[in-house]
């Protein structure tokens, strides 16, 4: 932990959504930010499952890191049982079901299982080291994404983002907001425009909060304003994160991302996707095969716990959408900037 907070503070960021202390995994409860800063302890892999499912932690890389620590906790729980490894592997199966769209969840569980399967002894120690490595690699990847993405931006930029793909959605620093942080470090004048992102308001609550923590200028807008902001020249580039990027470059991200991408093309504005290579899924050929999570319709019927729609109305609540690859100007990864044709570029970026 000391080294990760050291890496983050050297890069100029104070925000981190997780802690690992004395065998307990703590999450900054993102359901109640920015009013309250509450750290919730996870002591079992089931605590981790509920934290992911119930949005205590969210954002693809942060979900992956959290699942990795869930696997460490599962190994601890199983200690002394004759079926310890079976218990560990079934915990992995269980954790993968917490949310379906972010591929980082599956990726992190598979990586933890492979590390433990390879190790003959000291399983717990090896699992803990692997989870810490996943976390640290994510932070380092984000800083590199920020540097590469920052260089793509002009001297002065109005940078629209959707949802929260920031420090809070990752191990720290962020992907899309990592690009904003990287650009600021390079001396660019950056104003981030944050789509509020109904219904969970990740933009209003989380993106605004974390950018203010790091002293970065942020302007909140309702989701429906993005077209006008582009057309009138206040927004001059878009950067978003991703929950999964298929082999052909189609991008799954927070519902509404597709609308923003189409508007960006209409207004000749670059639309960048920032994501670590752990979000590239070469086993899924295109966006059509990516599972889209549908959450409880009540989330749409209510605002801040108060019902706004009349009884009897239905509600659709798909929480991600697919942006076809042809709308994506570039995918910014820690391994470099990928441009169309995406299929060979993605295949090359993904480690064997």
Distance CA 1, CA 94 (A): 27
Active site residue 281: no
Of 152, 153, 160, 163, the one binding ligand MRU (CB under 6 A) is 163
- Cβ closer to ligand MRU: 95 or 126? 95
- Cβ closer to ligand MRU: 47 or 210? 210
According to the binding rule CB under 6 A, does residue 149 interact with ligand MRU? Answer: no
DSSP label at residue 206: I
According to the binding rule CB under 6 A, does residue 247 interact with ligand MRU? Answer: no
Note whether 273 and 241 are within 8 A (CB): yes
Site string for ligand MRU, 87-106 (x = CB under 6 A): ---------------x----
Query: Segment near ligand MRU (CB under 6 A), from 36-44, 125-133, 164-172, 308-316?
Result: 164-172
Number of residues that bind ligand MRU (CB under 6 A): 17
According to the binding rule CB under 6 A, does residue 59 interact with ligand MRU? Answer: yes
Measured N-to-C along each axis, helices 103-118 and 84-96 cross at an angle, to the nearest 10 degrees, of: 170
* 108, 109, 110, 116 alpha-carbon torsion, rounded to 10°: 110
Distance CA 261, CA 8 (A): 30
- Pairing between strand 244-246 and 280-281? parallel
According to the binding rule CB under 6 A, does residue 13 interact with ligand MRU? Answer: no
Question: What is the CA 195 to chain-centroid distance, rounded?
Answer: 16
Query: Segment near ligand MRU (CB under 6 A), from 16-24, 165-173, 224-232, 300-308?
Result: 165-173
* Distance between start and end Cα atoms, the chain: 29
Of 170, 267, 284, 329, the one binding ligand MRU (CB under 6 A) is 170
Helix, strand and coil percent figures for the chain, each rounded to 5: 45, 20, 35
Q: Which residues contribute to the site for ligand MRU (CB under 6 A)?
A: 58-61, 102, 163, 165, 169-170, 175, 202, 241-243, 253-254, 319
Could you list the active site residues?
243
């Amino acid at each position: 932990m000391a080294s990760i907070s050291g890496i983050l503070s050297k890069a100029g960021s104070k925000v981190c959504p997780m802690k690992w202390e004395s065998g307990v995994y703590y999450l900054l409860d993102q359901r109640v930010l920015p009013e309250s800063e509450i750290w919730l302890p996870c002591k079992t892999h089931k605590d981790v499952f509920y934290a992911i499912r119930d949005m205590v932690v969210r954002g693809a890389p942060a979900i992956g890191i959290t699942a990795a620590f869930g696997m460490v906790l599962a190994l601890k729980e199983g200690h002394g049982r004759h079926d310890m490894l079976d218990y560990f592997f079934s915990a992995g199966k269980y954790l993968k079901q917490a949310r379906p769209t972010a591929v980082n969840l599956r990726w992190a569980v598979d990586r933890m299982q492979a590390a433990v399967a390879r190790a003959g002894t000291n399983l717990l120690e090896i699992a803990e080291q692997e989870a810490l490595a996943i976390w640290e690699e994510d932070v380092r990847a984000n800083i590199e994404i920020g540097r590469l993405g920052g260089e793509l931006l002009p001297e002065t930029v109005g940078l629209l983002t959707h949802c929260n793909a920031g420090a809070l959605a990752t191990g720290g620093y962020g992907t899309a907001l990592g690009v904003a942080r990287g650009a600021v470090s390079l001396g660019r004048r950056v104003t981030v425009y944050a789509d509020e992102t109904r219904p969970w308001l990740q933009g209003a609550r989380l993106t605004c909060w974390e950018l203010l923590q790091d002293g970065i200028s942020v302007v909140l807008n309702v989701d429906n304003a993005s077209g006008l902001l582009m057309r009138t020249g206040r927004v001059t580039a878009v950067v978003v994160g991703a929950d999964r990027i298929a082999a052909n470059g189609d991008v799954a991200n927070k519902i509404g991302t597709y609308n923003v991408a189409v508007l960006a093309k209409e207004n000749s504005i670059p639309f960048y996707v920032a994501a670590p290579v752990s979000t590239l899924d070469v086993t899924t050929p295109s966006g059509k095969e990516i599972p889209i999570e549908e959450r409880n319709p009540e989330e749409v019927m209510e605002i801040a716990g108060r019902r706004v729609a009349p009884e009897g109305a239905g509600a659709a609540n798909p929480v991600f959408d697919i942006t076809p690859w042809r709308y994506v100007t570039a995918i910014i990864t820690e391994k470099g900037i990928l441009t169309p044709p995406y299929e060979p570029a993605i295949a090359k970026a993904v480690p064997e």
